[in-house]
Amino acid sequence: MSTFSLPDLGEGLQEAEIVAWHVAAGDHVVVDQPLVSVETEKAVVEIPSPKAGHVAQLMARTGDRVKVGAPLLTFEEGPHAETGTVVGELAQPPAPPAPAPAPAEAIQAVPVAAAQAAPGEAVHAAPAVRARAKELGIDLTRMKGSGPRGAITTADIEAAAAATTGPSNMLRGARRTMAGHMVKAWHEVPHATLHDRADIELWSAQEDVTLRLIRAIVAGCNAVPLLNSSFDARAETLHQNASIDIGLAVDSPDGLFVPVLRDVARTDAKRWREQIDGAKAGVANRSLSPADLRGATITLSNFGAIAGRHASLIVLPPQVAIVGAGRTTREAVDGGQGIALHRMLPLSVSFDHRVVTGGDVARFMHAMIGDLEKPA
């Protein structure tokens, strides 16, 4: 047997979570074929096979966190190690081909009565699948598989377990990463928040709110560079960042992602929009790399696009501030010629009170509002 361990994923990453196995024990693989997808810092990475060979055993399960250097799987050595067999071939004798499903049919667990194997019929499942079924208490003889030649897959087992017990509440993937970050930030940072609003009545109907908020943050950071700093609590040092790299909070079904818009003070609105669209696409298809999610110097959360006016936001160290924008409303203001209804944009700035004062944030907010209240 030879062991393949989790390789160094770069950027100081020390562990990863198993998202999905693409092979099972008994499969044959070729060089560079994807073996497993892992998630680290909310980015999903495929790990390819370093060799051609026969998979003997998977050493981790879906959802496990694996340290760099820990074993992922073992390869058989000997006459079967370098065969060129197609991935997914089963060791069991050939079975009659299963009828092809209708194009619109979804793969799902089948009711027990319909799925039960005929008397004497072989159950086609890889050892890893059998082990998982045993863990979950699933009777394989009552399952109909969705794999090649009717083989039962891990996905079939998980679906059957979910149908029996209901959805699991265990945090996995991006939500587990988010939970860890939020707990650390909440315990480490003494948070404070300042609220205000900007009168945006002079904006055109086509104004891009996110782009205006980015421009306003740049104005605020230029006025008070302290809020674009990074604080190392252990060394008690405050570093003023040379570029303004805005983390953009993006909501998704998998949790909160914060891709980074790079060096926004030295680029223009067209480039900002390109970065925003690319970041949202990357979140949607889970194609962001760990580097895409690192290095923000200040964060923007435009939560008002969904709901809410003001918020107390969480500052993620080493950043010292996060800006929030709420839902725009019409409010009565004294325009000098009587009361009028103006569009008002609520703003919130949460900050690390260890190194940032209320006066710092008030000056930052004043600069932001001044920029936002310009017509264009």
Taking the domains of the chain in order of start, what are their residue ranges?
1-89, 95-170, 174-372
Q: Is the pLDDT of residue 122 over 70?
A: no
Q: Please, which residues have CB within 8 angstroms of residue 172's CB and are 6 or more apart in sequence?
A: 17, 63
Task: Give, to the nearest 10 degrees, the angle between helix 209-223 and helix 269-285.
Answer: 110
Q: Is the pLDDT of residue 80 over 70?
A: no
pLDDT tens, residue by residue, 251-271: 998 889 999 999 999 999 999
Confidence of residue 81 (pLDDT cuts 50, 70, 90): very low
Whole-number percent of the chain with pLDDT over 70? 86
**How far is it, in rounded angstroms, from Cα 369 to Cα 158?**
51
Confidence of residue 178 (pLDDT cuts 50, 70, 90): confident
Domain 1-89 falls under CATH 2.40.50.100 = yes
> For 111-130, what is the mean pLDDT?
57
Q: Is the pLDDT of residue 120 over 50?
A: no
- Shortest CA distance to 215 belongs to which of 226, 205, 203? 203
Domain 174-372 falls under CATH 3.40.1080.10 = no
Q: What is the mean pLDDT of the chain?
A: 85
Write down the pLDDT at residue 166: 55
Write down the pLDDT at residue 269: 95
Write down the pLDDT at residue 117: 47
> For 228-235, what is the mean pLDDT?
96
**How far is it, in rounded angstroms, from Cα 55 to Cα 29?**
7
